[in-house]
């Protein structure tokens, strides 16, 4: 059964605000519209009802008897609708958690493992906020963040997850075309360079750790996105620097291999960050956090659950 007659709903909102504030000007400010827009909505509603709702006096605004009676009904109805909407939004908010992380961490580490969490907790929705830096992201926009940092960031609750392990990786097909057994031979191939403003470890640092200070790559391909860089390695287009946690699935599957055993271990980490000012942690956040820590404990590079409250000055990746 169709509900009728229904007045113009936008006009009801304008009427409720104007009647509550007894001012078209304040209603306009509250609704972020012009005073003329509020006046037009009220006039539209009065024309629809065929009754005047306001007594328009140069000195003050007042309600007619019809306006007074109608206002009580309209305000009550809108409040019921607002309360019900709030309940629905709160339920969804409690059932949905937002995980902010880099494109690399999201596509190469989190997404392949997320089905395990969803199987265990089908009632929790996970929203991935992929961004290559937390700069400009308000803490209220995420519940948990997963990022790589050279140094532990400050101004947030921090739990180190994995210590940085970096080594060259390439496709088996790439090795079939040339011999690569030493860092010097890596230098003679095509290296895939990450062209990023974030503070990721570079080929220069890896070669330096291997005893090669002055390097002049024979060929290099620059890419500004790490998942795209790994895809280039999978395509056999060159050798990439692989972060252990981000490439291990490809190594396990055999689609990427390590041409040389040399690896660089640093004090950098992948961290879990949690906003400190959260007044009430959602139930889903605790479950995700517990699952995450339980999952990463199985990794040999797991750093332990030492939390630190430390000013977000380090660059992330």
Give this prediction's pTM: 0.64
Tell me which of 266, 282, 301 is where a domain ends: 266
- The three-state secondary structure class of 5 is coil
Give the CATH number of the domain where residue 41 resides.
Answer: 1.10.10.10
Residue 2 counted as domain residue: no
- Domain containing 299 equals 95-161+268-309
Tell me which of 62, 90, 118 is where a domain ends: 90
Residue 74 counted as domain residue: yes
Tens-place pLDDT, residues 41-94: 999 999 999 999 999 877 788 999 999 999 999 999 998 888 777 666 655 556
**Spatial distance between the Cα atoms of 263 and 246, rounded to a whole number of angstroms:** 15
Structure tokens at 248: 């291990």
Residue 317 counted as domain residue: no
Between 292 and 307, residue with greater pLDDT: 292
Tens-place pLDDT, residues 223-282: 989 999 999 999 999 999 999 999 999 999 999 999 999 999 988 899 999 887 654 567
* Residue in 278, 276, 286 with CA at minimum distance from that of residue 312: 276
5 cis-preceded (ω within 30 degrees of 0): yes
Alpha-helical segments (H) within the chain: 9-21, 24-31, 35-49, 65-95, 103-105, 111-120, 172-176, 183-187, 203-209, 226-234, 244-253, 283-296
Domain count, the chain: 3
pLDDT at 306: 42
178 and 103, same domain (yes or no): no
Tens-place pLDDT, residues 131-169: 888 877 877 788 999 999 888 887 778 899 988 899 999
Tokens 């517990």 correspond to what residue?
A: 290
Burial of 293 (0-12, 13-18, 19+ CB in 10 A): middle
143 and 281, same domain (yes or no): yes
> Nearest 5°: CA angle at 56, between 55 and 60?
100
Measured from the Cβ of residue 135, the count of other Cβ atoms closer than 10 Å reads 10
Q: Which residues pair with 242 in a beta bridge?
A: 167
**Spatial distance between the Cα atoms of 65 and 73, rounded to a whole number of angstroms:** 13
Residue 3 counted as domain residue: no
Residue 316 counted as domain residue: no
Residue 207 counted as domain residue: yes
Helices and strands per DSSP (H, E), number in the chain: 12, 11
Tell me which of 90, 109, 125 is where a domain ends: 90
């Amino acid at each position: 059964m169709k509900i009728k007659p229904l007045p113009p709903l936008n006009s009801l909102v304008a009427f409720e605000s104007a009647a509550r504030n007894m001012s078209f000007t304040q209603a306009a400010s509250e609704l972020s519209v012009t005073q003329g827009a509020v006046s037009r909505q009220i006039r539209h509603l009065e024309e629809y009802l065929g009754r005047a709702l306001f007594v328009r006096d140069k000195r003050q605004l007042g309600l007619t008897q019809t306006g007074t009676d109608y206002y009580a009904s309209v305000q009550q109805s809108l409040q019921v609708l607002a309360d019900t909407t709030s309940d629905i939004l709160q339920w969804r908010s409690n059932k949905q958690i937002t995980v902010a992380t880099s494109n690399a961490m999201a596509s190469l580490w989190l997404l392949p493992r997320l089905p395990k969490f969803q199987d265990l907790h089908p009632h929790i929705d996970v929203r991935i906020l992929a961004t290559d830096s937390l700069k400009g992201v308000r803490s209220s926009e995420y519940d948990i963040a997963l990022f790589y940092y050279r140094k532990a960031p400050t101004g947030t609750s921090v739990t180190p997850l994995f210590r940085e392990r970096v080594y060259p990786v390439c496709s088996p097909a790439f090795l079939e075309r040339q011999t690569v057994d030493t860092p010097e031979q890596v230098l003679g191939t095509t290296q895939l360079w990450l062209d990023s403003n974030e503070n990721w470890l570079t080929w220069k640092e890896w070669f330096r750790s291997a005893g090669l200070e002055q390097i002049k790559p024979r060929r290099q391909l620059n890419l500004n996105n790490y998942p795209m860089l790994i895809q280039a390695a999978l395509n056999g287009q060159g050798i990439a620097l692989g972060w252990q946690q981000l490439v291990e699935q490809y190594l396990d599957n055999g689609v990427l291999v390590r041409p040389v055993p040399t690896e660089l271990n640093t004090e950098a980490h992948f961290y879990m960050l949690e906003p400190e000012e959260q007044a009430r942690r959602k139930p889903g956040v605790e479950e995700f956090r517990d699952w995450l820590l339980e999952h990463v404990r199985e990794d040999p590079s797991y750093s332990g659950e030492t939390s630190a409250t430390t000013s977000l000055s380090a660059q992330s990746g």
